[in-house]
Structure 1
């Protein structure tokens, strides 16, 4: 044997080894899902070859018949799942079956805890693809021949952390997965068990699933595309299993949209919103979950123009009547008919979401927690649906723990309030404690707590809602004129400082801080804290600046403005000191410390951590009489 034909042994990546350990020793409550996973993969392989054979007819099987065979062998105690689909090369076998990201289980590894009980529950939440074969089997063999290739290859493993690849014999393209069953798994040799499980999980699959017993061949599924049937003839269970098939996930669909469009462009769509967020939702390499068919022929699951990126949580099928079969994926994206389907499908989905939000606000809040950050991308990207998306927007606010719509926010604005106030950050709970909110909270003004990275960007694209401008509470001077305090502030003992003396302290701050700040001014927004940072009215929001710098999109930011609360006891004490001889040198470190305190509160990195520590230590020593 040559080096290329001799059997070669490989080691699974660590995450796969962990998953295989779970499968090999599994007492999983629904072990039958392995058959659903393997049949689903076989069906996908047939769909892919059927599409490729449009351009290369010689690759199609005899008479163009695609099917999935289930072959139990009681004598050998094996169950084989075979298809005549696209097949795999040697390299694909190693890549697709050797790493967790390629096996239909991407993202699963990140959730593994090391606790077998918890990790087994995860199997019930996410599809586990090919590796589910090790639930009933102690050895798995895969023989595959790629369409158009002359050689076949065998992949085999006992689930012990290693697998082997060697040359094999197979007359036609396709893949056969043979499960060598564990001693207690004889039920998978029974025709009745196989028929029941296929009926339960895979009846919707449009490719025939055939039970092969010697010369006897029995069709186990209806083998008609589910989306072509009338809605009244489809049960909730059938919709659920089809969702699990196309989404490669467990769980229930949160929303099911099944509709047919007739007229200028004819198509059928069956789309699902999952109840759980896919683990790879923010992965740039994530494939769109909506498959494109033309007259029941699978075309692609990678047509980026079919649904907008901000609806990438959708899974399902769009079946068009009028598209040509032989268009490339690249041409499809710019095809006017595809663009028309995209526009109409988007409108239908947003309409359904609006209906759900109006009729079932609690259920919609659960959806928003999962997918709100993605949907907000559309406000920035999709001018045509911006108004609809703003209507669907939900935000945390300073008024409470729940989500609030912009319509509700505007409806309860104060009579003198002119703007929709917001604050940007990384965590809503932390934002609610920001010192910049004090003056707004004291006046009973509600502020949106925006903690998603995309918030910085959609606000630039949508500067207003219902005639009200969005206004950051951390940018520019806070104009709260005409907005009375909800209750009288706690009086600070002693006479309030004179304006001239406050101006003297401000001058000392400016002198001490130099070019670290654009300005130091008296604050209208602080009631309890001594100081805070805000952005200049002409500059970027401080949070947006930090994010752009972190992503190397901004080299030099603008200087912040330091605001001081002249009513705060600490500032009053500093005002008194500022009028004394030699105050500039005595207060220099204090001015620096208060600026650094404001930086820490705002999440800004300190330029001189060692200097800060030294100044803080000196201040503590002075305070303790040291």
Structure 2
């Protein structure tokens, strides 16, 4: 640095950055090499951003138009230097980029890192993609010197990763003519990152296909030699690309360190021409349920990065990572033009169709691999059933479900249709929070007695798509917690199961309806119960029980519909209560209200008035003790 004194500003990291740094420095990660991929990825992005800005301001390139990334090794001083001649950063950009995490989903990201700590072999860094801050896994101190293209001012950012950083101006002579130089002062146990063999291996494994040439300088003062040519992988013929090449590129573009579950690479020709390279990840990205539900596909024009905010895929395919490169858009394309472009609409349609078709082929050709994809992303794909009318049937055919007949496996709707019972008129389903709760539901009893398969739906999205998917292959979807069961026309497997209502039970049902009044919309005998005494169902029209609870919880439904109380006329408890003398009205009223609370508990709720429930229960116990 120059001897000229420059004022130094000291800053404290924002809370989330400080927490992240602490987690990384004090945790043991299975692969620290990923820091280099992150730095190279940032450097390549900086070069691409410069190419883009130079479209309207070519003077930014000066006499140094060719992009490059240079890695310098300094074993004697235990330093690794990563330098690019990209867009560079101003003072404010240094503070914004290196002092804060501006990405949505940060808190969920932090929570998942903490949750994954302690799990043997957890691939934390590769799983989450922590960007620049991963340098502190291998460095005690980091210096960043940057000069923005077109500026005569340069800035120095420095930190030891322990909670604060400094920013100061530097003499232009001590900074790159343009771009950023990052110097890592390596930890005692990180000296391997001054080895050419180690660095070259990591670059080729993780960053060999970034669209910027990468060179290495083995020691200060030595000549640079190229170790990656900067050829964009997506421009090559598929026959020239190995599985390992695709995997390496995927890790760079996706910010993950797993293997892609599916690779889709094609060139569309005709009226609109573009190349697409997309990957279905092998594991869930941490931002899969980001409230913004933004996609992660990059748009290039003639190999120049334009934006990663173009909606190249529908939101239910937001887990797909990759890029689209077209020559049919102008390089100075505006955000408004992107939103309104017929070409982008055509790309979106073609890319969506190719990805879904590729997933279909995976389901047919490798069911085990497809099930892994479905387990990771099925809950997101099902959003498309109610968002994408055009592809609803295709998405329903792709869907896999746990059912009352599937054991541990998942079944397709085509399998369900083959096994439908004679006289069955609908595809029956049950929604809820978890599988164990659903399997214990009393509403299933009449369907089990007849051998009717029921879909067991536990994803929150399930309560929504079933309301917008009117049918599949001519059969409507019907909740078993809503309306009449319509089971009379289907024979029971156990002829002894169930019973007709006796006169005393019929009278008790009438009494129960009068007793409960406005608390329920109806009381009736049940076709669906064979073992339990009572259950609640929703009226025929409107949301089913689970959707109603979700809408109420979200404040989207002020007044829930009054439920229907169904009574099993053959249950021993019901027949015993019904046979009690009608003069014992107080007991019968207590029994009716206790049955309603029992139905609420079986439905996952609690008694409406816990104190009144306890008092009734006490009176019934006392009566039994006196008997």
| TM-score (normalizing by structure 2) | 0.91
Find runs of 4+ consecutive structure 1 residues off by over 6 angstroms: 103-106
- Aligned-CA RMSD value: 2.6
Alignment-derived partner of residue 498 in structure 1 = 502
**What does 1:389-468 align with in structure 2 at a 5 Å threshold?**
389-399=395-405, 400-468=407-475
The equivalences for 1:63-462 within 5 A come to 63-99=64-100, 102=103, 107-111=108-112, 112-113=114-115, 115=117, 118=120, 121-147=123-149, 151-169=153-171, 170=175, 172-212=177-217, 213-214=220-221, 216-285=223-292, 287-304=294-311, 306-399=312-405, 400-462=407-469
User: Aligned ranges for residues 583-598 of structure 1 at < 5 Å?
Assistant: 583=585, 585-598=586-599
TM-score in terms of structure 1 length: 0.92
Q: CA deviation at 1:99?
A: 4.6
* Structure 1 residues not aligned, in runs of 5+: none
2:578 corresponding residue in structure 1: 575
Preserved CA contact (<8 Å) 1:26 1:135 = no
Query: Does the C-alpha gap of structure 1 residues 107 and 61 become closer, same or farther in structure 2, counting only changes over 3 Å?
Result: farther
Deviation at 1:54, TM superposition (A): 2.6
1:437 Cα deviation (Å)?
Answer: 0.7
| Cα distance, 1:149–1:601 mapped onto 2, change above 3 Å | farther
* Range with bigger deviation, 337-346 or 43-52: 43-52
Contact 2:384 2:395 in 1 (8 A): yes
Distance of aligned partners of 1:120 and 1:491 in 2 relative to their CA distance in 1, 3 Å threshold: closer
Q: Which moved more, 1:429-438 or 1:27-36?
A: 27-36
Alpha-carbon deviation of 1:470? 1.1
Q: Distance in 1 between matches of 2:359 and 2:519?
A: 47
Relative distance call for 1:45 and 1:513 in structure 2 (3 A) is farther
Counterparts of residues 14-25 of structure 1 (less than 5 Å):
16-17=17-18, 19-21=20-22, 23-24=24-25
Find the aligned partners of 2:235 and 2:374 in 1 and give their Cα distance. 31
Q: Residues of 2 paired with 1:453 and 1:88: CA distance?
A: 43
Post-superposition offset of 1:130: 1.5
Q: How far apart are the structure 2 equivalents of 1:251 and 1:123?
A: 11
Deviations 1:309-331 (A, max 9, x none): 11111001111121121111232
* Contact 1:422/1:449, CA 8 A, preserved across alignment: yes
Of 504, 528, 531, which residue of structure 2 is paired with 1:528? 531
Contact between 1:104 and 1:129, CA under 8 Å: does it hold in 2? Answer: no
Q: Does the 8 Å CA contact 1:22/1:116 hold for their aligned counterparts?
A: no
- Mapped to 2, the partners of 1:458 and 1:88 lie a distance apart of 46
How far apart are 1:388 and its partner, in Å? 1.1
Whether contact under 8 Å (1:79, 1:178) holds in the other structure is yes
CA distance in 2: counterparts of 1:359 and 1:116, whole angstroms? 37
- Secondary structure (helix, strand or coil) at the match of 1:566 reads coil
* 8 A Cα contact 1:67 1:209, kept in partner: yes
Q: SS in structure 1 opposite 2:555?
A: coil
Q: Contact 2:127/2:285 (CA < 8 Å) preserved in 1?
A: no
Query: What does the per-residue CA deviation read over 1:232-287, in whole Å, with 9 as the maximum and x for residues that have no partner?
Result: 11111111110000000111000011111111111111110011011111112354
Distance verdict in 2 for CA 1:364–1:623, change over 3 Å: farther
